[in-house]
Structure 1
Amino acid sequence: MSRQYIDCREFPSATNCTVAMSADNEKELLEAAVQHAVAVHGHADSPDLRKQLKSLFKPGTPPLKVVPAKAA
């Protein structure tokens, strides 16, 4: 499996979080992303959270600069 990442900079938040994380396998990345979402963003660990986070994984490594998505 190739390296994957998830990047908080892509999503507007009250904390303006700049954390990006990557891993060589999906399970490791998911565990790190869940821990971050719970500890920093106050989400509850749930199957829905895990499914949502997994859907946001991208191949490769995080870019140096990111243009955040517009708030809905």
Structure 2
Amino acid sequence: MTRKYIDCREVPSDNNCSVALSADSDDELLEAAVQHAVAAHQHTDSPELRSQLKTFFHDGTPPVDTPRK
């Protein structure tokens, strides 16, 4: 099974967030990413947010040196 990850450094943000999350499944990663987006970035949990977050999912583990966008 391949791990999945999402990395805030890939998304422009006002607070220059450097959090990266990883999990064994899309569902688990999505729930963690939504919780982070709501708590740290003041987004509202919605179908649109969930759909957008999924576009940033990658297979593997987050690289250490991802440049900020």
Which aligned pairs between 1:1-72 and structure 2 lie closer than 5 A?
1-69=1-69
Aligned residues: 69
Runs of 4+ in 1 over 4 A off after TM superposition: none
For 2:12 and 2:50, the matched residues in 1 are separated by 19
RMSD between superposed Cα atoms in Å? 0.9
Alignment gaps of 5+ in structure 2: none
Give TM-score, length-normalised by structure 2.
0.94
For 1:68 and 1:9, the matched residues in 2 are separated by 5
Give TM-score, length-normalised by structure 1.
0.90
Helix, strand or coil at the partner of 2:43: coil
For 1:14 and 1:40, the matched residues in 2 are separated by 11
Helix, strand or coil at the partner of 1:13: coil
